[in-house]
Structure 1
Amino acid sequence: MVESPINMSNGIYRRRNLFNKVMLTVSLGTLIFGLFWLFWIILTLLFKGAPALSLTLFTDITPPPGETGGLVNAIVGSVLMAVVGTIIGTPIGVLAGTYLAEYGQRGWLAPATRFLNDVLLSAPSIIIGLFIYAVYVAQVGHYSGWAGALALSILVIPVVVRTTDTMLLLVPNSLREATAALGCPKWRMITLVCYRAAKSGIITGILLAIARISGETAPLLFTALSNQFMSWDMNAPMSNLPVVIYQYAASPFQDWNDLAWAGATLITLLVLGINIMARSLFRKS
């Protein structure tokens, strides 16, 4: 009769069982370590930022030192630039991802594009800000909301490209073959079959891109800068939450520090909400 290998008297099984328990313990420890800092950051933001959350925050503009005010101009500027950046970057990212998944099976262009997209995805955002400053801001001679939106759109593109490429590759080839057998052109097959099958994943990528650009400070310092007053003019310096938080957190005035904590709390809650929405969509896809 052959002895079962799953036996504590088996030396190999004992060693593997011990190694498995050690690795599980280490994994659990790193999980707890990471969650500890995450919850500490969130609780600190809520503890310091929640008392400053009020109706005034959403109705008044950023105040001078010693006076009460809000962040409505910064919120409006952030929303405008994020929306314009998303509108510019999303179609480019979706079309580039579609080419990689549907037309880039052969040749060197698709692998090279994926490599460059990965480089752009991991590039520091301050590099993007300096690039837009050199090619746009320095040429027109002033900071503007358009420049900030362009910088944010470049940050959107690689996230959407990667997500679109990945989700379209997950669409079963049997769907493509069935559509081709019916005599459907490839462009119609992509728009009516592949996009519909990968819709949830693509939307998830767009939401994650929006979450990424919501808190970017470095690109906006070199492009949109800031504006103490309410402004809807995208061709002029525009206030935005990340830069206001950066400026107010470094100031010696307590009222500005409180507004910085409130702004940081708003961005954190926004990013958490977008990520939860993205995960929910991805789970349903």
Structure 2
Amino acid sequence: MSTVTLPDAAPPPGGPAPGAAAPPAEAPAPPPERRVLLHRVPREEVGVAAAAAVSGACLAWILYGRVLPVAGWQGFLLTAYAAFLLMYGVASRLRTDAVQARDRLAGAVVGTGIAALLATVGTVVVYIFVRGSGSLDFAFFTETQEFFGALSGPDVAVGAAHAIVGTLEQVLLAAAMSVPLGIATAVYLNEVRGRLAHVVRIVVEAMSALPSIVAGLFVYAMLIIGLGQGRSGFAASLALGIMMLPIVTRTTEVVLRLVPGGLREASLALGAGELRTLWHVVLPTARSGLATAVILGTARAVGETSPVLLVAGGNARMNWNPFDGEQESLVFFIWRNVKSPSDRLNSLAFGGAVALVAIVLALFVVTRLLAGRAPGELSRRQKRRISREAVSS
């Protein structure tokens, strides 16, 4: 009896062979990626924030004026702001996950804080300009207050030229004394790192928190009472220099830390000494940061009032010599005239405030422009010059 072997049954089309393992199931396709704009706020997010602000104001109006037994616009603003944050947080959580909702809520807090800060500064600046715009004429920058008093007629010219000159001389003298010393101290702390570096750093940090009136009292006790010198612009510049010194030192130290260590190592490897490396490599690389430190210290000195009131003395006449006799400054000029019963002198005081604010704002704008470029980074003009030289060669 013969045995017939039949062939195995063919597997069904597209199916696995008998005894073979089943192929793994295909993984689900990942969800499409969503681009997140880091430097721009989406339009729909602005609409959600505006709707939350309106809803928060309405809720505060209902609670603060109808339910709660309180009154006052300050409390209403605080209640409306808290309700706005609550509404915006809930709306963000309904549209996104918890992490993005917290991020957007934190962004709303930061954004509203910046807006409140700008509104406060803008209100102060606008108020000063409105009150002092009536006295800002040609005579304000060319005349003094020597022949003008509370009973003078409108035909007597009066200005703040003596105060502007005194402020510029005092600040320049203070910068001439404190800037070299501050930069040298920062170099000692960051580059030399001697045995006394820790002690010097503690002293600099303590001076940063020193009240300005203490600096004025120190100069008054040492120079005017101790040495018998009279009040002068130079005494005011000494007090201002004490206030500038820690700012210049700390800012310069931070800037020197940003200089790459590879530049120092490369200079030393080529045979240059430490002093030559500092003078030709480190300081030129940190040039923009050093300028920022100087301007920040100068801006601090321009607005100081207490030390100038103590040691400058004030003078209604023009005094070009800061080393001899009392000298006026803008802060003393403002303090003197704002107490006068004359409306013209009050307007003149606000005009001096306008000049002082303009000087401070100009210094901070220059600081922001210089701080926009990192130490060692080429400017646009330098990059264009290098590109032209590369093309021509």
Q: TM-score, normalised by structure 2?
A: 0.67
1:219 matched to 2:307? The reply is yes
CA deviations over 1:172-208 (Å, ceiling 9, x no partner): 1111011111111111110111010001100111011
Cα distance between partner residues in 2 of 1:173 and 1:20 = 36
Cα distance between partner residues in 2 of 1:169 and 1:80 = 32
1:267 matched to 2:356? The reply is yes
Partner of 2:262: 174
Cα distance between partner residues in 1 of 2:339 and 2:198 = 44
Partner of 2:218: 131
Partner of 2:151: 66
| Preserved CA contact (<8 Å) 1:66 1:255 | no
Cα distance between partner residues in 2 of 1:50 and 1:122 = 35
Partner of 1:279: 368
Structure 1 unaligned blocks of 5 or more:
none
Pairwise CA distance, 1:92: 0.4
SS at match of 2:311: coil
Larger displacement relative to structure 2 (191-200 or 157-166): 157-166
Partner of 2:201: 114
Cα distance between partner residues in 1 of 2:340 and 2:189 = 47
CA deviations over 1:81-117 (Å, ceiling 9, x no partner): 111111011110010011111011x65x323322321
Listed as ranges, the matches of 1:25-104 within 5 Å are: 25-62=108-145, 63-67=148-152, 68-104=157-193
What percentage of aligned pairs have identical amino acids?
A: 29
Larger displacement relative to structure 2 (64-73 or 83-92): 64-73
| Larger RCO, structures 1/2 (Cα 8 Å, 6+ apart) | 1
Aligned residues: 279
Pairwise CA distance, 1:141: 4.5
Cα distance between partner residues in 2 of 1:76 and 1:159 = 24
Larger displacement relative to structure 2 (61-70 or 186-195): 61-70
Cα distance between partner residues in 2 of 1:236 and 1:35 = 41
Q: Rg larger in 1 or in 2?
A: 2
Cα distance between partner residues in 2 of 1:143 and 1:259 = 24
Listed as ranges, the matches of 1:197-212 within 5 Å are: 197-212=285-300
Considering fraction of residues, name the structure with more helix.
Answer: 1
1:16 matched to 2:99? The reply is yes
Cα distance between partner residues in 2 of 1:268 and 1:145 = 21
Partner of 1:247: 336
Cα distance between partner residues in 2 of 1:31 and 1:279 = 17
Q: TM-score, normalised by structure 1?
A: 0.92
